[in-house]
């Protein structure tokens, strides 16, 4: 993957931080109030908008005096709950990555996307930082996987939500699919799978035709026994069963199967389905599958990123999910699988409010439907 750097950078201050410090002014050379950007969410605040030449020197890309700007931050705004809304404007069809830092000592990938004119993203981690800096980088790649970025010891992991229970993870030149369903067209523009995780046999988690369409030539499949039983003979040759508590190491990562079951209904009997804990590049990711608020869920520890299902009557109600998350305390949590049996959706804003900010848990709300 190659990068063409476009050095546009913005600084967003916390509402109580009125002016930039002199050291930062020296680094960037100019502090410009306003320019149509509002970081406070209530009134104009100071934004440092600068060509980040001191930071990106020697890396090429757009320079002062260029006739055209291929992309720009058109809004950087603190919300009332201290998060930051970021609008990026660029011609449709380009692929961009936005990086963040809070101290200018080290940049980390935040989100990548295909531009569609104006694209808005919400930096929910900003609530825990007094200031944030953003830079945009145009990405050149034949088959990019876009989404949220997380730094690991072996490069970024990229999280790409697809729909309901289905999502894709890119990491270390590998592509992982979780419960792919919905047909080939849904995954047409995504890279093929090196690893597929199947939690259980229900139709919103398992569809053999979709698996056939996304599998790579040397795909490995990890499944619960019930999901394995639902695979075609050809797919079974690439699959291995993990029962609750078992683990496997493959493709440089560790997969541990954890129980996923109902306490109040018989929709998901204990021992039938799996959740998974993945360890990749020193990070631990939890995928709940279809589970209620079980003791095994609450006993999880040291989870960096969690995907937690919440829909009634099949998994958890919002209050149960929030209570469980507050107990096992992942650093970041994604609510997913949140369409209820009656077609309504779980109230994600209530979930976010109930999780709160006092424990330092970042709740990331993304588009799954």
| DSSP assignments along 216-277, one per residue | EEEEEEEE-HHHHHTS-HHHHTTEEE--TT-EEEETTEEEEEEEE--SSSSSS-TTTEEEEE
- Omega before 181 within 30 of 0, i.e. cis: no
> Are residues 191 and 85 part of one domain?
no
Domain endpoint, select from 78, 110, 140: 140
pLDDT digits (tens, 9 = 90+) for 176-196: 999 999 999 999 999 999 999
pLDDT digits (tens, 9 = 90+) for 134-169: 999 998 766 679 999 999 999 999 999 999 999 999
User: Residue 103's pLDDT is what?
Assistant: 85
> Are residues 117 and 165 part of one domain?
no
Residue 60, pLDDT > 60, answer no
> Are residues 231 and 109 part of one domain?
no
Domain of 55?
2-140
> Are residues 352 and 314 part of one domain?
yes
pLDDT digits (tens, 9 = 90+) for 290-311: 999 999 999 999 999 999 999 9
Residues 243/250, Cβ–Cβ less than 8 Å: no
Assess if residue 227 is contained within a domain. Answer: yes
> Are residues 181 and 329 part of one domain?
yes
150 by Cβ neighbours in 10 Å (0-12 / 13-18 / 19+) ranks as buried
Q: 0.75 exceeded by the pTM?
A: yes
User: Residue 71's pLDDT is what?
Assistant: 87
Q: Tell me the mean pLDDT in the region 29-53.
A: 28
Residue 117, pLDDT > 90, answer yes
pLDDT digits (tens, 9 = 90+) for 315-359: 999 999 999 999 999 999 999 999 999 999 999 999 999 999 999
Q: Which two tokens stand for residue 230?
A: 């639902």
d(CA 130, CA 121): 19
Between the alpha carbon of residue 319 and those of residues 287, 296, 303, the distances in Å are 19, 18, 20
Q: Whose CA is closest to 239, among 257, 227, 254, 251?
A: 227
> Are residues 277 and 249 part of one domain?
yes
Domain endpoint, select from 112, 140, 168: 140
> Are residues 304 and 196 part of one domain?
yes
**pLDDT above 70 covers what percent of the chain?**
80
Assess if residue 145 is contained within a domain. Answer: no
Phi first, then psi, for residue 180 (nearest 5°) are -75, 120
Assess if residue 36 is contained within a domain. Answer: yes
Residue 173, pLDDT > 60, answer yes
> Are residues 163 and 120 part of one domain?
no
> Are residues 356 and 228 part of one domain?
yes
Assess if residue 147 is contained within a domain. Answer: no
Residue 24, pLDDT > 60, answer no
Assess if residue 17 is contained within a domain. Answer: yes
Instruction: Provide the Cα torsion 3, 278, 354, 158; round to 10°.
Output: 10
Neighbours of 124 (CB within 10 A): 19
> Are residues 231 and 189 part of one domain?
yes
CATH of the domain at 332: 3.60.15.10
Domain endpoint, select from 101, 116, 140: 140
> Are residues 125 and 160 part of one domain?
no
Higher pLDDT, 67 or 245: 245
Count of domains forming the chain:
2
User: Residue 114's pLDDT is what?
Assistant: 93
């Amino acid at each position: 993957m190659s990068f063409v750097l476009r050095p546009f950078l913005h600084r967003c201050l916390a509402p109580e931080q009125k002016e930039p410090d002199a050291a930062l002014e020296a680094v960037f050379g100019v502090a410009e109030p306003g320019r149509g950007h509002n970081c406070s969410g209530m009134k104009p605040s100071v934004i440092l908008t600068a060509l980040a030449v001191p930071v990106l020197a020697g890396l090429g890309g757009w320079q002062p005096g260029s006739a055209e700007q291929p992309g720009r931050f058109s809004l950087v705004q603190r919300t009332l709950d201290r998060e930051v809304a970021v609008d990026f404007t660029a011609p449709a069809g380009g692929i961009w990555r936005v990086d963040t830092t809070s101290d200018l000592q080290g940049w980390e990938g935040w989100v990548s996307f295909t531009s569609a004119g104006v694209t808005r993203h919400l930096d929910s981690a900003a609530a825990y930082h007094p200031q944030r800096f953003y830079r945009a980088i145009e990405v050149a790649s034949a088959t990019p996987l876009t989404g949220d970025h997380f730094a690991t010891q072996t490069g970024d992991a990229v999280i790409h939500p697809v729909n309901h229970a289905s999502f894709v993870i890119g990491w270390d030149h590998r592509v992982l699919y979780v419960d792919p369903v919905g047909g080939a067209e849904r995954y047409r523009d995504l890279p093929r799978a090196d690893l597929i995780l199947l939690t259980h046999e229900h139709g919103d988690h398992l569809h053999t035709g979709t698996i056939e369409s996304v599998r790579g030539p040397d795909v490995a499949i990890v499944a619960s026994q019930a999901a394995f039983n639902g695979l075609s003979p050809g797919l079974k040759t690439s699959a291995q069963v993990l029962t609750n508590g078992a683990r496997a190491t493959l493709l440089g990562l560790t997969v541990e199967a954890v129980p996923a079951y109902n306490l109040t209904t018989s929709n998901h009997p204990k021992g039938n389905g799996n959740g998974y804990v993945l360890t990749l590049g020193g990070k631990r990711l939890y995928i709940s599958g279809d589970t209620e608020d079980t003791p095994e869920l609450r006993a999880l520890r040291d989870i960096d990123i969690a995907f937690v299902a919440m829909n009634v009557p099949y998994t958890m109600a919002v209050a149960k999910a929030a209570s469980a998350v507050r107990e096992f305390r992942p650093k970041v949590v994604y609510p997913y699988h949140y369409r209820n049996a009656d077609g309504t959706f779980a109230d994600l804003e209530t979930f976010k409010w109930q999780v709160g900010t006092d424990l330092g848990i970042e709740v990331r709300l993304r588009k799954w439907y």
